[in-house]
Amino acid sequence: MATLEIRDLHVTVETDGAPREILRGVDLTVRAGETHAIMGPNGSGKSTLAYSIAGHPKYTVTGGTVTLDGEDVLAMSVDARARAGIFLAMQYPVEVPGVSVSNFLRTSVTAIRGEAPKLRNWIKEMRTAMDALSMDPAFAERNVNEGFSGGEKKRHEILQMELLRPKIAVLDETDSGLDIDALKVVSEGVNRVAATGEVGTLLITHYTRILRYIRPDFVHVFVDGRIVAEGGAELADQLEAQGYDVYVKAAASA
Amino acid sequence: MSVVTDTPDSVEAPDFPVPTGREEAWRFTPLARMRGLHGEAATNPVAPRVTIDAAPEVSVEIVAASDPRVTRRLTPLDRPSALAMAGAPESIVVSIASEVVASRPTVIRITGVGADRTSYGHVIIDAAPFSNSVVVLEHVGSASYSANVEVRVGDCAQVQLVSVQDWDDDTVHLGRQHAVIGRDAKFRSFVATFGGNLVRLVPTVDYVGSGGDAELLGVFFSDAGQHLEHRSLIDHSAPHCRSNVLYKGALRGDPSAGEAGIARSVWIGDVLIRAGAIGTETYELNRNLVLTEAARADSVPNLEIETGEIVGAGHASATGRFDDEQLFYLMSRGIPADVATRLVVRGFFSDVISRLGLPEWEDRLSSLIDSELGLEIVEGADDDSGHTG
Ligand SMILES: Nc1ncnc2c1ncn2[C@@H]1O[C@H](COP(=O)(O)OP(=O)(O)O)[C@@H](O)[C@H]1O
Ligand SMILES: [Mg+2]
């Protein structure tokens, strides 16, 4: 069973030529079969955490460790992390002009699985996965994220998660910008993958809305670059009622 | 001053002074690297080596300069073009008879005879009315080469001229490629420039009837030490004609090599819509992708309109850096950096290359792009699964 362990993680980002500390000691363990929700106000560093796990070059780890089944994730290149089983559904997926979704997905699946899937099986597999997310087959011929609506981008991210079958999936605000129908479709996709018991999910969100469709086992409140409170699903209900204010004030006076 | 010319009405080289580099047309070009192709006439110019693989319906002949067909020549636009016109020892004459539809591309391979001697070339493509053909000029080897290509597209005919510059590193190639487009005729120029030390191509278009259509497409990849220059010039003098220019270039210099490491490209797109050219529709676009430091792309669209009664006229030009966010996105899906780079760069060029409509040549250009990226070993699933099954 896969385990992602984050210990005392410190991360800086370059702003106006000077490094600024965004993550200030994050501790978190995510195991396959578990769903964790990370909830926090805008600017608290949630995306920074997601990008740091995936290895985005803009973020510099200045302290702490991240391991996947004991392997040093921070020592791996971005692509090696993905091949080791880490997946990041991005808050703002990137356009890649001139590269079709089908070409992209097949190249990526080939890289992750270590061999190219047989074409016949592959087309079927892709169609089935797209169908489950209510995506039109014509979608495969469009260029990656180019001209996609917000909902299409997020469906495309979840489509990748379903095809790549990661050990650890980090979903960065996959719910934001989705209408209720799209939110249901996307949540079903996440639940389908979670139901296999083979993936640990780290669901990053600003709103509690998605937690009506995806029930977390653990909820972590994230404020000012660290986890300030932890609990079960009931913590999300409390946040829904009270908001982040008490935590933000507590962090500010700490 | 008109965008079209500072050209005297002349066909003789002496009427064009030797360029100094201060002229608008020459200000971007490193004259010192032109091996005198713009200076005095070569004393013993030679012709390049030519290999012909013609469609069965198309005639290709190599004729002496004295052949009557050769005297129907274009008006040179500049001194190198005039020198090449006067000095070309022979001409390649491609003829497509009226109503003939060529069953496959006619490929003319032009091989340089060495960078140490001047060669002059002349190609005439004569497409009679209602014919339809594709002619590929494939340039390879080492050369100091100056050439004129004339295309006459008869009424209602269609011609696609593909010019591939896959030269060796030491080649200098100056070329004028002039199309005269008949009534309701269609011309497409596809220029692909990868090799050569200095390549400067001037595709020009004239319309001699209404309803003509010209599409000028180009891809180029400039790496360390290369100067690749493309200057198109479309002269809308007839009514209801269309033109569309789309050039895309990538630049990859070598920042550790100083001056010699600079990758250089120039794109100039001149369009003139004359007073009589009512109903004209024209659009031109140049995009450049800068992959490294030590790269410089100049991009100058230039539209001059003498009539208000047009359908549309526009241009756009943009030079951008390789986007690391795209690389990150692809790599975060397990795709190794080199494969990801290839996807992004191929993707950048794909909308131009896919318009070629010749699968074999599309593959050839894609692999030329790969080798420019230093990615000669191709593995993995890079073919679009949409094509199969
Ligand atoms: N690439 C970056 N460049 C500069 N500043 C950044 C970058 N990424 C994040 N930040 C800064 O770090 C802080 C946390 O941002 P982020 O991780 O995006 O928060 P969240 O996802 O919780 O809204 C913000 O103040 C933001 O401006
Ligand atoms: Mg965020």
pLDDT digits (tens, 9 = 90+) for B298-343: 999 999 999 989 999 999 999 999 999 999 999 999 999 999 999 9
pTM: 0.90
pLDDT score for A177: 85
pLDDT exceeds cutoff 80 at A125: yes
| Chain A, nearest residue to B389 by Cα | A120
pLDDT score for B389: 28
Tell whether ligand 1 has an atom less than 6 A from the beta carbon of residue A13. Answer: yes
Q: Which of B322, B342, B365 is the last residue of a domain?
A: B322
Q: Do residue B110 and residue B209 come from a single domain?
A: yes
Q: Do residue B105 and residue B193 come from a single domain?
A: yes
Q: Do residue B282 and residue B360 come from a single domain?
A: no
A252 — pLDDT class (breaks 50, 70, 90):
confident
CB atoms B330 and A100 under 8 Å: no
Cβ count within 10 A of residue B316: 11
- The minimal CB distance from B384 to the residues A96, A103, A110 is found for A103
B11 — pLDDT class (breaks 50, 70, 90):
low
Q: Which domains does chain A have, with CATH numbers?
A: 1-91+167-251 (3.40.50.300)
Distance from the alpha carbon of residue A228 to the mean position of ligand 1, in angstroms: 18
Is residue B37 one of the residues assigned to a domain?
Answer: yes
pLDDT exceeds cutoff 80 at B4: no
Tell whether ligand 1 has an atom less than 6 A from the beta carbon of residue A120. Answer: no
Q: Do residue B334 and residue B265 come from a single domain?
A: no
Smallest-distance ligand from the CA of A15: 1
Distance from the alpha carbon of residue A150 to the mean position of ligand 1, in angstroms: 20
pLDDT score for A240: 87
DSSP secondary structure letter of residue B101: B
B340 or B68: which leads in pLDDT: B340
Kindly write down the DSSP assignment for every residue of B160-208, as one continuous string: EEEEEEEE-TT-EEEEEEEEEE-TT-EEEEEEEE---SEEEEEEEEEE-
pLDDT score for B375: 66
Q: Do residue B160 and residue B215 come from a single domain?
A: yes
Question: Measured from the CA of A51, which atom of ligand 1 is nearest?
Answer: 17
Contacts of A83 in chain B (CB under 8 A): 334
Q: Mean pLDDT, chain B, as a whole number?
A: 92
- When divided into structural domains, chain B yields a total of 2
Is residue B260 one of the residues assigned to a domain?
Answer: yes
Range of lowest pLDDT (A46-55, B270-279, B364-373): B364-373
CB atoms A122 and B330 under 8 Å: no
Overall average pLDDT of the B129-155 stretch: 98
pLDDT score for B28: 97
Please list, in sequence order, all residues whose beta carbon lies within 8 angstroms of the beta carbon of residue A117, skipping any fewer than 6 positions away: A106, A109, A110, A125, B381
Q: Which of B307, B322, B337 is the last residue of a domain?
A: B322
Overall average pLDDT of the B139-151 stretch: 97
User: Hunting for tokens 């066909």 — which residue is that?
Assistant: B11
Question: Measured from the CA of A50, which atom of ligand 1 is nearest?
Answer: 17
Selection from A243, A146, A138, A132 nearest residue A184 by Cα: A132
B382 — pLDDT class (breaks 50, 70, 90):
very low
Q: Do residue B240 and residue B143 come from a single domain?
A: yes
Please list, in sequence order, all residues whose beta carbon lies within 8 angstroms of the beta carbon of residue B87, skipping any fewer than 6 positions away: B41, B42, B45, B120
Is residue B7 one of the residues assigned to a domain?
Answer: no
- The minimal CB distance from A141 to the residues B324, B339, B386 is found for B386
Percent of chain B residues past pLDDT 90, beyond the cut: 88
Is residue B1 one of the residues assigned to a domain?
Answer: no
Distance CA(B380)–CA(B346), nearest Å, equals 15
pLDDT exceeds cutoff 60 at B381: no
Supply the range of the domain harboring residue B28: 13-322
Is residue B73 one of the residues assigned to a domain?
Answer: yes
Is residue B278 one of the residues assigned to a domain?
Answer: yes
Selection from B258, B202, B241, B195 nearest residue B221 by Cα: B195
Q: How deeply is B72 buried, as exposed, middle or buried, from its count of CB atoms within 10 A (0-12, 13-18, 19+)?
A: exposed
Q: Do residue B204 and residue B281 come from a single domain?
A: yes
φ/ψ (deg, to 5) at A194? -65, -35
Number of residue pairs across A and B with CB atoms under 8 Å? Answer: 110
Q: Which of B299, B322, B345 is the last residue of a domain?
A: B322
Q: What is the ipTM of this complex?
A: 0.97
Q: Do residue B155 and residue B237 come from a single domain?
A: yes
Is residue B29 one of the residues assigned to a domain?
Answer: yes
DSSP secondary structure letter of residue B242: E
Q: Do residue B316 and residue B327 come from a single domain?
A: no
Residue type, B335: I
Is residue B2 one of the residues assigned to a domain?
Answer: no
Residues of A with CB under 8 A from a CB of B: 54-57, 77-79, 81-83, 87-88, 90, 93-100, 102-104, 106-112, 116-117, 119-120, 122-123, 126, 140-141, 143, 160, 164
Percent of chain B residues past pLDDT 70, beyond the cut: 92
Distance from the alpha carbon of residue B153 to the mean position of ligand 1, in angstroms: 59
CB atoms A94 and B325 under 8 Å: yes
Distance CA(A23)–CA(A38), nearest Å, equals 14
B5 — pLDDT class (breaks 50, 70, 90):
very low
Cα-to-chain-centroid distance, residue A201: 8
B153 or A207: which leads in pLDDT: B153
Q: What is the pLDDT of residues A142-160, one digit of tens each?
A: 999 999 999 999 999 999 9
Selection from B257, B292, B285 nearest residue B372 by Cα: B292
DSSP secondary structure letter of residue B69: G
Q: Do residue B145 and residue B225 come from a single domain?
A: yes
Q: What is the pLDDT of residues B151-162, one digit of tens each?
A: 999 999 999 999
Tell whether ligand 1 has an atom less than 6 A from the beta carbon of residue A45. Answer: yes
Question: Measured from the CA of A15, which atom of ligand 1 is nearest?
Answer: 4
Pairing state between β A71-72 and B132-141: unpaired
Q: What is the pLDDT of residues B342-351, one digit of tens each?
A: 999 999 999 9
Range of lowest pLDDT (A76-80, B41-45, B73-77, B213-217): B73-77
Question: Measured from the CA of A48, which atom of ligand 1 is nearest?
Answer: 17
Q: Mean pLDDT, chain A, as a whole number?
A: 95
B6 — pLDDT class (breaks 50, 70, 90):
very low
Residue pair A208/A176 in contact by the 8 Å Cβ criterion = no
B355 or A253: which leads in pLDDT: B355
Q: Do residue B235 and residue B352 come from a single domain?
A: no
A90-120 burial by CB neighbour count: b if 16+ within 10 A, else e? bbebbbbbbbbbbbbbbbbbbbbeeebbeee
pLDDT exceeds cutoff 80 at B377: no
Range of lowest pLDDT (A76-80, A217-221, B6-10, B63-67): B6-10
Tell whether ligand 1 has an atom less than 6 A from the beta carbon of residue A46. Answer: yes
Q: Do residue B214 and residue B353 come from a single domain?
A: no
